Structure 1
């Protein structure tokens, strides 16, 4: 599969490495960035040709898929352009910063028949797969609650380094939209459709930003289960993601990329799948590669990818409900 990478920043370099790791299943044919010299640095390491705009790359190259690694508010327009050009699409999280933008991509996907996946690589981690299997097989019984914690730290320089970070217009949000959305996505994936959110946010440890560096929320799900989430970039020195799922017959805990605890009244711990990849890659990197492999397989097999565009929209809708509840001081209802 021939890929174009759109956006040659830090995350773009990560995606170039992932395409390279696909081996015979993927080749980086084009790197697009308005700073062509920056695109050229990725090309020098991972191959392909540098272009200033997607249109130039689409006109010059035979491409199958596009990986969008731009600032969040640019995702939807770029995805629609790619779909209309006949390309399949991977979008870095979040899908965009508004539901209207996400819906534009959904309409374009429906009209073109392209495959679209939103990055949520933690779903592919073996311990996460074990927890989901325990839910699906009934090992945990009725799922009653969950807790997703993303207690990270970002120094002031993180926000000062790029003109768009920490802005409402381009970043769309802070600790939850950009960091905590991964763990929130897992919580929603495990517990089902969220129907009501009550939340608070704060900006406590950073200056000159328009977004939160701390968010907490209580989420009521359609099943009656209740989820709690905390997202922070103000928790020095930062801790790994922690996810706890409780049921009336068992409990499972993800901590530090491992299944740290599992107990079930009438079931054994599910077997962990094995992810293969380059030596020395971290668990989250292998999961990222697994999502790329799933995307390639989904295109070839004509099936939905493991993380769909609708999945990305649901996570975005939950984030936006958190922000609205925090602004209004009231619970916010979510529509499916």
Structure 2
């Protein structure tokens, strides 16, 4: 087994710095290549990483220095680029959403399997200590039956966010708006905690931005297969940028995660009394509101990305599935696609029917 795994960073958008910094911080990993259609951007990041750079994707995939391809290009290109990488024998880690098409996302999974390479979909918040704690308590039965959940992502993106990138806000490349781009991580944790979704009923609208084709306001109700109910609310018009908040309620416990911090956790013990939970160790470092992802997409704490990169490396070494493999990455995408179908048709959508 190799002592050092070479990553290729494919795309030089806002999140590329996080990928570069977190891969570089892992012992036994390095950034071996950078790809961008822009020679200037490829060179700039490659100089920081001390790596090769490419503007020809197929040529880059020939490099024997690359073991893992990290795809952070516009969402509508994810599957096509992942499939090419898999056919070249490279393992793949792809930013959310894994693609904007369920058919292409499934093809990505199938091709990676056929070529015996690992596929991981970025859902870094599953690795956050608060999420790990809550999930463990749910799985152990301490929450009892999961009965209600509320997810809200009330963030702010100015008009310039969409105007400065031609692909943002388009159905062809973005696939959708606040749900598939900003809220997808919260939706992923929502279903991760509450269980499989049975159906959704939703409304979406474009109410606060110009020259975009996708929603900047969305509301949805959900029914889970275990009988629980839930709501999702999302917007990119909540000036100046509020919080991402997830509330989950079981018959024996309640938890609230807000801006990646576990701010409330109550569990009832066997004597029907509330158990005092020390949550101090699960809080993230406080940041100024102006430097938070709710208003600034570049303001991202990359520690959980690093954990997911490390998990993929270990999955390769141990020949196992990554924690967030293709099938897991497909789950929040299915929910969001179902929400879009419901909003378009004006009727409830069964998840198993899409």
* TM-score normalised according to structure 2 size: 0.89
> Any residues of structure 2 matched to 1:106-185 within 5 Å, and which?
106-185=109-188
What is the CA deviation profile of residues 247-280 of structure 1, one whole-angstrom value per residue up to 9, with x for unaligned ones? 001101112322111111116648888899xxxx
Who is 1:323 aligned against?
Answer: 340
Query: 2:86 and 2:158 mapped to 1: Cα distance?
Result: 37
What is the CA deviation profile of residues 190-212 of structure 1, one whole-angstrom value per residue up to 9, with x for unaligned ones? 11111100011111110000000
> 2:220 aligned with 1:217, yes or no?
yes
Who is 1:306 aligned against?
Answer: 323
> Any residues of structure 2 matched to 1:176-215 within 5 Å, and which?
176-215=179-218
Q: Answer yes or no: is the 8 Å Cα contact 2:263–2:283 preserved in 1.
A: no
Instruction: Note the C-alpha offset of 1:135.
Output: 0.3
Q: Answer yes or no: is the 8 Å Cα contact 2:62–2:88 preserved in 1.
A: no
CA RMSD of aligned residues (A): 2.0
Judging changes above 3 Å, is the alpha-carbon distance between structure 1 residues 251 and 274 closer, same or farther for their aligned structure 2 residues? closer
Q: Answer yes or no: is the 8 Å Cα contact 1:19–1:26 preserved in 2.
A: yes
> 2:303 aligned with 1:286, yes or no?
yes
Query: 2:101 and 2:114 mapped to 1: Cα distance?
Result: 20
What is the CA deviation profile of residues 225-253 of structure 1, one whole-angstrom value per residue up to 9, with x for unaligned ones? 11211111011111231111100011011
Q: Which runs of 5+ in 2 are unaligned?
A: 270-274, 285-298
Query: 2:226 and 2:200 mapped to 1: Cα distance?
Result: 14
Runs of 4+ in 1 over 6 A off after TM superposition: 270-276
Single out whichever of 282-291 and 178-187 deviates more from structure 2. Answer: 282-291
| 3-state DSSP of counterpart to 1:10 | coil
Q: Answer yes or no: is the 8 Å Cα contact 1:93–1:120 preserved in 2.
A: yes
Q: Answer yes or no: is the 8 Å Cα contact 2:35–2:60 preserved in 1.
A: yes
Please, which of 82, 86, 90 is the counterpart of residue 87 of structure 1?
A: 90
Instruction: Note the C-alpha offset of 1:142.
Output: 0.7
Please, which of 8, 19, 24 is the counterpart of residue 15 of structure 1?
A: 19
Judging changes above 3 Å, is the alpha-carbon distance between structure 1 residues 78 and 270 closer, same or farther for their aligned structure 2 residues? farther
Query: 1:211 and 1:201 mapped to 2: Cα distance?
Result: 9
Q: Answer yes or no: is the 8 Å Cα contact 1:275–1:287 preserved in 2.
A: no
Query: 1:293 and 1:46 mapped to 2: Cα distance?
Result: 18
**Number of matched residues?**
331
Q: Answer yes or no: is the 8 Å Cα contact 2:263–2:279 preserved in 1.
A: no
Single out whichever of 73-82 and 221-230 deviates more from structure 2. Answer: 221-230
What is the CA deviation profile of residues 112-142 of structure 1, one whole-angstrom value per residue up to 9, with x for unaligned ones? 1211111111111111111111101111111
Q: Answer yes or no: is the 8 Å Cα contact 2:76–2:99 preserved in 1.
A: yes
| 3-state DSSP of counterpart to 2:32 | strand
Query: 2:85 and 2:127 mapped to 1: Cα distance?
Result: 26
Who is 1:264 aligned against?
Answer: 267
> 2:85 aligned with 1:68, yes or no?
no
| 3-state DSSP of counterpart to 2:62 | helix
| 3-state DSSP of counterpart to 1:60 | coil
Instruction: Note the C-alpha offset of 1:220.
Output: 0.9
Instruction: Note the C-alpha offset of 1:317.
Output: 0.8
| 3-state DSSP of counterpart to 1:189 | helix
What is the CA deviation profile of residues 263-320 of structure 1, one whole-angstrom value per residue up to 9, with x for unaligned ones? 11116648888899xxxxx884211211111111111111111211111111111001
Judging changes above 3 Å, is the alpha-carbon distance between structure 1 residues 294 and 269 closer, same or farther for their aligned structure 2 residues? farther
Instruction: Note the C-alpha offset of 1:165.
Output: 0.2
Query: 1:325 and 1:157 mapped to 2: Cα distance?
Result: 29
| 3-state DSSP of counterpart to 1:231 | strand
Query: 2:283 and 2:11 mapped to 1: Cα distance?
Result: 27
Who is 2:8 aligned against?
Answer: 4
